[in-house]
Amino acid sequence: MRRREYLKITKFARIYDRKSKKFVINISYQCRTDLTPRTIQVGEAFGLGVDEFQKHVLYDNVELRIGSTDIVLITGDSGSGKSVLLRRIQKDLGEECINIKNVKVDRRKPLVDTLGKSVGEALELLSRVGLNDAFLFIRRYSQLSEGQKYRYRIAKMIESQKQYWIMDEFCATLDRGTAKIVAFNLQKLARRLGRAVFAATTHTDLFEDLKPSVHIHKHFGREIETNYYPNEAVKQCSLSKEIRIEEGSRADYKVLAPFHYRSHTVGVARRIFKATQGEEVCGVIVYAYPAVACFGRRQVLPRMSMKELNQKLSVIMRVVVHPKYRTIGLGQRLVRETLPLAGTPFVELIAVMAKYNPFVERAGMTKIAEQPPARKALKIAEGSS
């Protein structure tokens, strides 16, 4: 009978001292291979003791200073010991942790029914991770792209209220542009909420956007490099540096129109501006002429003739950002950089989404009034509560 491969942990210690915020980690193991005619021949040819246990050391009395709000990036080749380290840290921290792979997903219900204690709370959580699209709110998890699924799982981690977020194979299934955007938004959210992140990956292109306060690079064997940095949020995604805002056209709007929940018709456009990364249109803003009346307008503007309104007032009819580029502040930037170019002293905007994502206020606009929901909508909400 063949003897199967044996592997046993011979040394494993993990001690986390919360007062000093220090992990002391020792991990080593021994393994012995199967004995087959061929493995015996290899062993004899190369002088290997295939029937003996071989000792391997991964972590030899390694000290890591990690606090409850640190952003930890663990890099290294596959098989170097990143996942082992994460598993041990997670086991030591226990119930204070949540692992993105263990997030429970209800695949049968629309997203808006799977988060939060109310509709408003659900929309706010989804908006935080870049799923701020009315169509996405009512889709199921199975209908999302890989990038959207990853963002949704981050929303569930936020909802859990756990202090430590564990993320092995961080963004491994995403294209590198999306990965950078997710990394940027993750560190922004974690730092804003006062949470800690442990992210492990073989990729080396996420350092700038995740901006870790602790960077651990694991080599094969027991060699390890650890660097510590100020725990400060990065303010701009690396992809934002490549994005340019310039004059656009109706054709540019049509490229992104399917990503907006309202009718694709915008009437007569006054000005259109686009945001581009290389040849790709990643955002668009459409300025149009004003309607005769608007809720809240009289609170700030005197009564005007239609001619005078057209001369002095523009309306932001659409702000559309490609789903991939959400959460990097592109909508805010489109508004802020084009307001001076609208051609009128006053600019008006009516937007339902702004209630859950106040990007226009961050761009410099002032909230004037909030129109209460229609009675019919209230009755529907009351009936479903």
Q: Residue 61's pLDDT is what?
A: 75
Residue 201 covered by a domain:
yes
* Residue 27, C-beta contacts closer than 8 angstroms, at least 6 positions apart: 9, 11, 12, 57, 58, 59, 81, 84, 85, 88
User: Is the separation of the CB atoms in 302 and 329 below 8 Å?
Assistant: no
Name residues of the chain where pLDDT drops below 50. 1-11, 377-385
Same domain assignment for residues 253 and 365:
yes
Residue 385 covered by a domain:
no
Residue 384 covered by a domain:
no
CA dist 107 and 144 (Å) reads: 11
Same domain assignment for residues 189 and 223:
yes
- Note down the domain range covering 41: 1-65
Could you tell me how many residues make up the chain?
385
Q: Residue 8's pLDDT is what?
A: 46
Same domain assignment for residues 367 and 303:
yes
Q: Using CA atoms in the order 120, 366, 130, 232, what is the torsion angle rounded to 10 degrees?
A: -110
Same domain assignment for residues 16 and 132:
no
Q: Which of 235, 255, 275 is the last residue of a domain?
A: 235
Same domain assignment for residues 102 and 231:
yes
For residue 56, what are the β-bridge partners? 29
Q: Residue 342's pLDDT is what?
A: 94
Same domain assignment for residues 70 and 58:
no
CATH number of residue 171's parent domain: 3.40.50.300
Give the chain's end-to-end CA distance (angstroms, integer): 64
- As for how many domains the chain has, the answer is 3
Q: Residue 149's pLDDT is what?
A: 96
CATH number of residue 350's parent domain: 3.40.630.30
Q: Which of 65, 87, 102 is the last residue of a domain?
A: 65
User: Is the separation of the CB atoms in 381 and 375 below 8 Å?
Assistant: no
Whole-number Cα distances in Å, 194 to 161, 165, 170, 359: 10, 11, 20, 22
Same domain assignment for residues 309 and 366:
yes
